[in-house]
Amino acid sequence: MATAVLALQGAFIEHERRLEELGEQCIEIRELSDLKRPFNRLVLPGGESTVQGRLLRQEGLLAPLKERIEEGMPVLATCAGLILLAQRIEDTIEDGADRGQVRPPQHFGTLDATVVRNAYGRQLGSFHTQGTVGKLEGVPMTFIRAPFIKEAGPKAEVLSVVDGRIVAVRQRNQLALAFHPELDQDLRIHRAFLAL
């Protein structure tokens, strides 16, 4: 079986490279017909969550993928992907040009967490550090206009906190990160995903 990588927009190729280095086969999901190919894992890459969400809805991918996630298919979500999984999303003011507008659902909302988009402000949104993720120590962490997790609900286990902010959680089959493990050479996060 293969891992499906959502390839509508953003940093999906880098996830494919990391997974292929671990011997995993990847397929790309862009439209409904791509779901006919067999896969048993899903990657939601970084990028722009509003754009990805809109395309997911337009392509009719939102409901069928949500169903697979709810059925327990392992999913690795990074950055914008984390935002797409979160049940509750807060926009920061500087990014909130369309704040307050009523929009049709365009995210999965399967992860019991509240995320704040572009949470670090323009200057601090992109940085590199190292941290602990669950049992993994010294994990390289690249943040790019990153969200953080303001609150993880009882169903979500906190795996990593950087500077007092939650940056990784796991809820059963869902592993969600505010940073980009695919941009560093450390394969441990992708290996952990393949072991889910």
Q: Show which residues are catalytic.
A: 79, 180, 182
Furthest-apart CA pair in the chain: how many Å? 45
Residues 146-185 vs ligand GLN: string with x where CB under 6 A? ----------------------------------------
Q: Select from 44-52, 64-72, 100-108, 155-163 the region that touches ligand GLN (CB under 6 A).
A: 44-52
Q: Is 80 in the site for ligand GLN (CB under 6 A)?
A: yes
Burial class (CB in 10 A: 0-12, 13-18, 19+), 156: buried
| Cβ 47 to ligand GLN shortest distance, Å | 5
Query: Is 80 or 152 the residue whose CB approaches ligand GLN more closely?
Result: 80
Query: Is 52 or 110 the residue whose CB approaches ligand GLN more closely?
Result: 52
| Cβ 84 to ligand GLN shortest distance, Å | 8
Q: Tokens 């390289």 map to which residue? A: 140
Measure the CA–CA gap between 41 and 49, rounded to whole angstroms. Answer: 20
Query: How does DSSP assign 8-30, residue by residue?
Result: SSSSHHHHHHHHHHTT--EEEE-
- Within 35-100, where are the H helices? 49-58, 62-70, 80-85
Q: Select from 32-40, 47-55, 56-64, 187-195 the region that touches ligand GLN (CB under 6 A).
A: 47-55
Q: Is 116 in the site for ligand GLN (CB under 6 A)?
A: no
* CB atoms near residue 114 (< 10 Å): 17
In the list 4, 79, 152, 177, the residue contacting ligand GLN (rule: CB under 6 A) is: 79
17, two tokens: 């490279």
CB-based burial, 35-47: b 16+ in 10 Å, e otherwise? beeebebbbbbbb
Q: Is 142 in the site for ligand GLN (CB under 6 A)?
A: no
| Cβ 96 to ligand GLN shortest distance, Å | 11
Where on the chain is the footprint of ligand GLN (CB under 6 A)? 46-49, 79-80, 83, 117-118, 144-145
